[in-house]
Amino acid sequence: MAGTVAPFGPHYGFGLYVHWPYCSKICPYCDFNVYAAKSRDNGPLLKAINDDIRIHRPRMPEHGALDTVYFGGGTPSLLTPSEIETILATADSTFGVKLDAEITLEANPNDIMRADLRGLKAAGVNRLSIGVQSLRDNALAFLGRDHDAASARAAVDRALKVFRNVSVDFIYARPSQSLDEWGEELSDALALGAPHLSLYELTIEQRTAFGKSVERGELVPMGPDAQADLYDLTQTITTSAGLEAYEVSNHASAPKYRSRHNMIYWNGGDWIGVGPGAHGRVTVGGKRYASEAQRQPNAYIANVQALGSGWSEAGALPPLDIARELMAMGLRPAGGINLDRIEMLSNETVPREKIDVFVEQGWARYDGAILSLTPSGWLLADAITAQLAP
């Protein structure tokens, strides 16, 4: 390994993910670790999150300052600027936060309309990710959102007046959605002027309200062929508009607007996960560890107070598992993955004859040691990964 770059770790980026688990309304498609927001004292959970950040420092002596901080959830836009500033101050005093760090806050349109946006900016937030999900009122009602299309447009407009780096989320491939309907809505989404769009096909998870509706026969998901047609249309429209995909579901008008935090996940970097149910991946002493915090907020608070969260020596990931995860995540961004990293970990050669077939089919590109998928290959990403992973 002397003179070479490790196949994973902070060389590929170092981030902090903060999970705020409360939502004013839980959406029927949501499979995240979320709870209904009520009148409550945020103090104990905020203290636990700050303590959790500090607990990680002595375990990670090799890590420098953070490249990114991401507030996700849940609905972290329910936090006040001062609460966010406190967490960022803890991160800075504990690890350091780089001057050019990307600091993202997920937000709902209604929160954007009543938030102190300049206060959030002063607190350190420099990127907003707004969960619009649709610009059609009937679709918003179906998705269980608590805003309408007009307020969504107003929220994005208000956000762009304070933050240049704004991402907007949409969900498509809804039951019975036509190509024409999605094409018109996507054109409207592009007209909002945000430099980043995250466009996700509706995925129905078993334990969600939508999942239960499918089990009862009340909801019929869109079939895979129709989803593929909508995906192809999405790539055509966004590319024509100058927001070509840089990852399976993410589009940016310029490299500076790509999600640097998500790139850490896709590239095999390190991130600390704090807050109820948060996941992390950290490298210590050449070993990679997976962490998962207690999911229930009170259990998380108690665990941080008693033991601290994080990982143990017994939790070190086997090299083969790391290689498989790197392959699965590394084929998501357009830049692809260096297969030398996979082979260094697995001590196996990725089968070139299979890669040749994928290239011939137009599903992949192979340049030197770099393997990447084309947009048509992204539709088959899981199957391709299964064929190539060690």
pLDDT higher than threshold 80 for residue 316:
yes
Structure confidence by residue, pLDDT tens digits, 252-274? 999 999 999 999 999 999 999 99
User: Average pLDDT, stretch 316-339?
Assistant: 96
- Other beta carbons less than 10 A from residue 357's beta carbon: 13
> CA–CA separation, 109 vs 158, rounded Å?
10
User: Can you give the pLDDT at residue 310?
Assistant: 52
Task: Assess contact for 130 and 112: CB atoms under 8 A.
Answer: yes
> CA–CA separation, 287 vs 318, rounded Å?
9
Structure confidence by residue, pLDDT tens digits, 64-120? 999 999 999 999 999 999 999 999 999 999 999 999 999 999 999 999 999 999 999
Task: Assess contact for 158 and 117: CB atoms under 8 A.
Answer: yes
User: Can you give the pLDDT at residue 126?
Assistant: 98
Tokens standing for 148? Answer: 């309408």
- Other beta carbons less than 10 A from residue 380's beta carbon: 18
| Polymer length in residues for the chain | 390
351-357: Cβ within 8 A, 24+ apart: 351/387, 351/388, 354/387, 354/388, 355/388
DSSP string, 302-338: HHHHHT-SS--GGGBPPHHHHHHHHHHHHTSBTT-EE
Peptide bond into 74 cis (omega under 30): yes
User: Can you give the pLDDT at residue 200?
Assistant: 97
Lowest mean per-residue pLDDT among 64-68, 167-171, 243-247, 288-292: 288-292
* Per-residue pLDDT band at 3 (split at 50, 70, 90): very low
Q: What domains lie within the chain, and their CATH numbers?
A: 10-265 (3.80.30.20), 320-388 (1.10.10)
Structure confidence by residue, pLDDT tens digits, 116-161? 999 999 999 999 999 999 999 999 999 999 999 999 999 999 999 9
Structure confidence by residue, pLDDT tens digits, 177-234? 999 999 999 999 999 999 999 999 999 998 899 999 999 999 999 999 999 999 999 9
User: Can you give the pLDDT at residue 159?
Assistant: 98
Residue 146 vs residues 23, 137, 172, 242, 301: alpha-carbon distances, Å: 11, 10, 18, 31, 29
User: Can you give the pLDDT at residue 4?
Assistant: 66
Structure confidence by residue, pLDDT tens digits, 364-375? 999 989 999 999
User: If 0-12 CB within 10 Å is exposed, 13-18 middle and 19+ buried, where does residue 381 land?
Assistant: middle
List Cβ neighbours of 110 (8 Å cut-off, separation of 6 or more): 24, 146, 147, 151, 155
Query: Which pTM does this prediction carry?
Result: 0.96
pLDDT higher than threshold 90 for residue 328:
yes
Indicate the pairing of strand 370-373 with strand 337-338. antiparallel
Task: Assess contact for 29 and 285: CB atoms under 8 A.
Answer: no
User: Can you give the pLDDT at residue 315?
Assistant: 73
User: Can you give the pLDDT at residue 308?
Assistant: 62
Tell me which residue has tokens 């992204």: 378
User: Can you give the pLDDT at residue 37?
Assistant: 85
> CA–CA separation, 43 vs 26, rounded Å?
22
Task: Assess contact for 103 and 128: CB atoms under 8 A.
Answer: no
Q: Which segments within the chain are labelled E, that is strand?
A: 14-20, 22-23, 35-36, 66-73, 97-107, 127-133, 166-172, 196-201, 250-252, 270-274, 279-284, 287-292, 337-338, 364-367, 370-373
DSSP string, 231-299: HHHHHHHHHHTT--BSBSSEEESSGGGS-HHHHHHHHT-EEEEESTT-EEEEEETTEEEEEE--SSHHH
Phi-psi region of 90 (alpha: psi -120 to 50; beta: other; left: phi over 0): alpha
* Per-residue pLDDT band at 281 (split at 50, 70, 90): very high
Q: Provide the mean pLDDT of the chain.
A: 94
pLDDT higher than threshold 70 for residue 314:
no
User: Can you give the pLDDT at residue 2?
Assistant: 41
Greater pLDDT, 43 or 2: 43
State the helix-helix crossing angle for 260-267 and 319-330, rounded to 10 degrees: 130
Q: Is 129 strand, coil or helix?
A: strand
* Per-residue pLDDT band at 1 (split at 50, 70, 90): very low
List Cβ neighbours of 144 (8 Å cut-off, separation of 6 or more): 25, 26, 27, 28, 29, 209
Indicate the pairing of strand 270-274 with strand 14-20. parallel
